[in-house]
Amino acid sequence: MKRVRITVKKMAQYDDLIEQYENPIEHACSMELGQTFVANGWNQPVGLCDSAWETMSPFVMTLAHGGEDIYDGWMKNPKSAMISCNDGFRPVSFLLETMDEEAE
């Protein structure tokens, strides 16, 4: 099984939606632009948001098991995927890339 690098590529925040619909919360997201994680199969990387992992884990597993060309030509690099977390107020886009090294 291959390891998969997960990189935070873009972060957004929709203040109008937050103001209109969200109850105040102290700390919504701890991701940082450029932050990277490495996944070994189903093991969620330490520090990666639970909600983001739930969204991306099927794609991580597909890539980790040698899957390529997710959604038939969607990505220029067939051993990658661009996935966003499911936070409608603060979506974060992650680049998933298969690494050459095998998971331990």
Decide if 27 contacts 46 (C-beta within 8 A): no
**What pLDDT does 71 receive?**
87
Phi, psi for 59 (deg, rounded to 5): -70, -40
**What pLDDT does 10 receive?**
97
**What pLDDT does 101 receive?**
66
**Secondary structure class of 53 (helix, strand, coil):** helix
**What pLDDT does 42 receive?**
78
Q: Which positions of the chain have pLDDT values less than 50?
A: none
**What pLDDT does 83 receive?**
96
